[in-house]
Structure 1
Amino acid sequence: MRLSYLAWQGRSATIFSAWHPAALKKNWPGISLSVVIALAATFVSTAYGGPQLLYALFFGLAFHFLSQDPLCRPGINFCSQTLLRTGVALLGARVTLEQITSLGAAPLIIVLIAVVSTVLMGCVVAKIFGRSRVEGLLSGGAVAICGASAALAISAVLPKTKENEQFTLLTVVGVTSLSTMAMIIYPLIVHFLKLDVTTAGIFLGATIHDVAQVVGAGYLISNHTGEVATIVKLARVACLVPAVVAISLLYRKRGEVGDVSRSPLVPFFLIGFVCMMLANSFHLIPHLASGWINDVSRNCLVLSIAALGVKTSFQSLASLGWRPVLMLVGETVWIVVLVLVMLKIST
């Protein structure tokens, strides 16, 4: 118990020290680079459309030559680690317990079965393609929960290796691309299957990877579909906490995340996620502040993706081969078919 307390104390001290003015001054060159990349990605996304996170990743890859620069490296690491965890923690401000319970039993059961089975399917597909279980959990969790945000959150508690970092980036590219395609294709599936507006919302919210694309696809059909899809998607986002805790405990028990005595039982940023969700649920966050928090969360994730892009080269992504791409496609097809079958059975 004392070891756990000391781990929490040490971890919180590390997090707060990263925001110390002296540390920020040291990190400023790398942070500035990530900010410039993020601003460029935001401009292109706003002016010409397309996923902001994907642009940030691709622009970051172009600056890989600065990844080992002694001036830029501390700030790049700060953005890819501390800002990543900060962004995930602030995601909790999007979710309330009222939104989740308002769905009723059937959609919640569908969401839970879809999330758990897709994560397990990720492990099965990884084994079939001769990839590691780490990659199966990462890709399955990203597809099952909330796309790029889930990939980043899960990667934060996985063993820190160069291969895992590369696979995380490939997963971000893959789920973002698949989400963008789904935003266009899935409304056509809804029309072809003649789903009513409520069922359509459940289908879209339970299958599309990223929140933004869920909202886009839902409101393409109707306002009611958009609202239902968003709430169902937020229920999936809420699954991020138990999923990451379970994965963290798994690798903590296996001794693959460094010194276990110094590693907190529950990742610090997940406590932040839960606190933000509870604060939002009990209306402790003003509506205006909630919008700001969501913007800060999004910006932190864009900056972290930009920094991760800088740390990775095109050659390293290409070296992963075609199997990871098929893994993501297979897991995406699985969750779509499973949700459609469950919706058919429940109606």
Structure 2
Amino acid sequence: MALLGERPGTGTGTGRRTGATAPAPLRKAPPREPASREPAAPRHGHGPLPGLALAAAGVAVAAAVHLLVPAVPMLTAAVVLGIGAAHLPGARALVRGPARPGLSLAGKRLMRVGIVLLGLKLSVGDVLGIGWSTVAMVAVVVAATFAGTLWLGRRLGLPGDQPLLIATGYSICGASAIGAVSEVRESDERDVATSVALVTLCGTLAIAVLPLLHQPLGLDAGQFGRWVGAGVHDVGQVVATAQTAGPHALGQAVLVKLMRVALLAPLVAAVALSVRNRHRHTHRDAQAHAATAPGTKRPPLVPLFVLGFLAMVALRTTGLLPGAALDAAQFAQELLLAAALFGLGSAVHLPSLARTGGRVAALGLCSWVVIAGVSYAGVLLTA
């Protein structure tokens, strides 16, 4: 599990002190962009209420933007508004000060609840209904995109968990997948914010670019829908892109996309297993010095919110939930994820992002080409 569980050049480190000295790495890690250039948020005694209120206001504005311009998904608008709030002179002090605890809470806890409710969009019957050839195609697309993006991100020297998080976002379901994996990895908030910003930007560009390629590539409505479902990151972006080709394309796109969402659970479990193994090795090395040191607690093999996601899939499969309950759950899920993405967007610091912008942009472009090309080939082969 070295592919998932090790950061390049960091040995057994997890980004937190474990009470023991880690073995010296064999290779020197690429230098991380200095955090000192990013203004540190002062510590305040404020609770989460100011930040949660600001996130709620951001969700309201994002919903208004989506109503005025339906082609812009609410989740995309929430990320952009969060980034804007972090840099507007009038709101910047609030975001970095009194609102920071609540915004961080939204980016983590509300994201978990939103991911759990995301399971209500998928049933076992949906997976079986798209055919085993399409299931195999989706699995190949996810594996190729994840492995290729992770490898290239490390080759480019991106810091921290950025290669892993970006690979997860591209291959599974955008910001939701990034949030799930970052919870297990306990990733730095800056790595999460940068990854969300990149994946959201590329997914938004897909809304404009992919419909222009529909006719030149010679795809019928069903093929176009499956291509969009396999190659676009966020569920909202998939809907916005596929609906341009009609209801049949939209239905195919959503089914394929939900198949990718189903792979979120095994991916997070694999990451959790790698983290658990690393903690076990670290604890074994540290036993002589700090057998009871904080930070040596092993994470669960399957995080609770992933179990909740699977439980919601099982509940949806039973068919016991009425349509009104499913609609209400979808509405709540969109609100929760929008609030979480606003919180994550507010953690983006554009000057710091600009210092690695060339490498991040190169990774995003290459990954976009990989997932679009592999999914296009898969659609043609399964036609």
TM over 0.5: yes
Q: For 1:80 and 1:120, locate their aligned partners in 2 and report how far apart those are by CA, in whole Å.
A: 26
Unaligned runs of 5+ in 1: 1-24
Which residue pairs with 1:116 in the alignment? 143
2:204 maps to amino acid: T
1:272 maps to amino acid: G
Q: Does residue 305 of structure 2 align to residue 283 of structure 1? A: no
Equivalent in 158, 167, 177 of residue 131 of structure 1: 158
Q: Does residue 233 of structure 2 align to residue 205 of structure 1? A: no
Q: Does residue 53 of structure 2 align to residue 40 of structure 1? A: no
Q: For 2:344 and 2:237, locate their aligned partners in 1 and report how far apart those are by CA, in whole Å.
A: 22
Q: Does residue 88 of structure 2 align to residue 66 of structure 1? A: no
- Report the more deviating stretch, 240-249 or 184-193: 184-193
SS in 1 for 2:242: helix
Alignment of 1:198-277 (within 5 A): 198-255=222-279, 259-277=295-313
Could you give the per-residue CA deviations for residues 186-235 of structure 1, whole angstroms, max 9, x where no partner exists? 23322112122322222111111111222232221122111111101110
Q: For 1:68 and 1:342, locate their aligned partners in 2 and report how far apart those are by CA, in whole Å.
A: 45
Which residue pairs with 2:349 in the alignment? 313
Which residue pairs with 2:291 in the alignment? none
Which residue pairs with 1:20 in the alignment? none
Which residue pairs with 1:75 in the alignment? 102
Which residue pairs with 2:36 in the alignment? none
The 8 Å contact of residues 214 and 233 in structure 1, kept in 2 or not, is answered as yes
Which residue pairs with 1:22 in the alignment? none
Q: Which has the larger radius of gyration?
A: 2
The 8 Å contact of residues 64 and 311 in structure 1, kept in 2 or not, is answered as no
Q: For 1:179 and 1:27, locate their aligned partners in 2 and report how far apart those are by CA, in whole Å.
A: 30
- Report the more deviating stretch, 251-260 or 287-296: 251-260
1:160 maps to amino acid: S
Q: For 1:307 and 1:93, locate their aligned partners in 2 and report how far apart those are by CA, in whole Å.
A: 24
SS in 1 for 2:48: helix
Q: Does residue 78 of structure 2 align to residue 56 of structure 1? A: yes
Equivalent in 97, 110, 113 of residue 124 of structure 2: 97
Which residue pairs with 2:364 in the alignment? 328
1:26, distance to aligned residue in structure 2 (A): 4.4
1:262, distance to aligned residue in structure 2 (A): 4.9
Q: Percent identity?
A: 29
Could you give the per-residue CA deviations for residues 44-97 of structure 1, whole angstroms, max 9, x where no partner exists? 23224523233323333324423453x534322321221111111111011111
Q: Does residue 50 of structure 2 align to residue 29 of structure 1? A: yes
- Report the more deviating stretch, 165-174 or 95-104: 165-174
Q: For 1:265 and 1:64, locate their aligned partners in 2 and report how far apart those are by CA, in whole Å.
A: 39
1:289, distance to aligned residue in structure 2 (A): 0.8
Q: For 1:47 and 1:198, locate their aligned partners in 2 and report how far apart those are by CA, in whole Å.
A: 29
1:273, distance to aligned residue in structure 2 (A): 0.6
Q: TM-score, normalised by structure 2?
A: 0.77
Query: Structure 1 pair 67/335, CA: closer, same or farther in 2 (3 Å)?
Result: same
- Report the more deviating stretch, 127-136 or 205-214: 127-136
SS in 2 for 1:297: helix
1:153, distance to aligned residue in structure 2 (A): 1.7
Q: Does residue 170 of structure 2 align to residue 143 of structure 1? A: yes
1:295 maps to amino acid: F
Q: For 2:180 and 2:374, locate their aligned partners in 1 and report how far apart those are by CA, in whole Å.
A: 25
Query: Structure 1 pair 303/115, CA: closer, same or farther in 2 (3 Å)?
Result: same
The 8 Å contact of residues 190 and 347 in structure 2, kept in 1 or not, is answered as no
Q: TM-score, normalised by structure 1?
A: 0.85
Which residue pairs with 1:298 in the alignment? 334
Q: For 1:311 and 1:64, locate their aligned partners in 2 and report how far apart those are by CA, in whole Å.
A: 11
Q: For 1:313 and 1:344, locate their aligned partners in 2 and report how far apart those are by CA, in whole Å.
A: 41
1:100, distance to aligned residue in structure 2 (A): 0.9
The 8 Å contact of residues 64 and 309 in structure 1, kept in 2 or not, is answered as no
Q: For 1:124 and 1:133, locate their aligned partners in 2 and report how far apart those are by CA, in whole Å.
A: 14
Q: For 1:292 and 1:225, locate their aligned partners in 2 and report how far apart those are by CA, in whole Å.
A: 25
- Count matched residues: 319
The 8 Å contact of residues 64 and 313 in structure 1, kept in 2 or not, is answered as no
Which residue pairs with 1:153 in the alignment? 180
The 8 Å contact of residues 235 and 254 in structure 2, kept in 1 or not, is answered as yes
User: Root-mean-square deviation (CA), in Å?
Assistant: 2.3
1:197 maps to amino acid: A
1:241, distance to aligned residue in structure 2 (A): 0.8
Q: Which structure has greater helix proportion?
A: 1
1:42, distance to aligned residue in structure 2 (A): 2.0
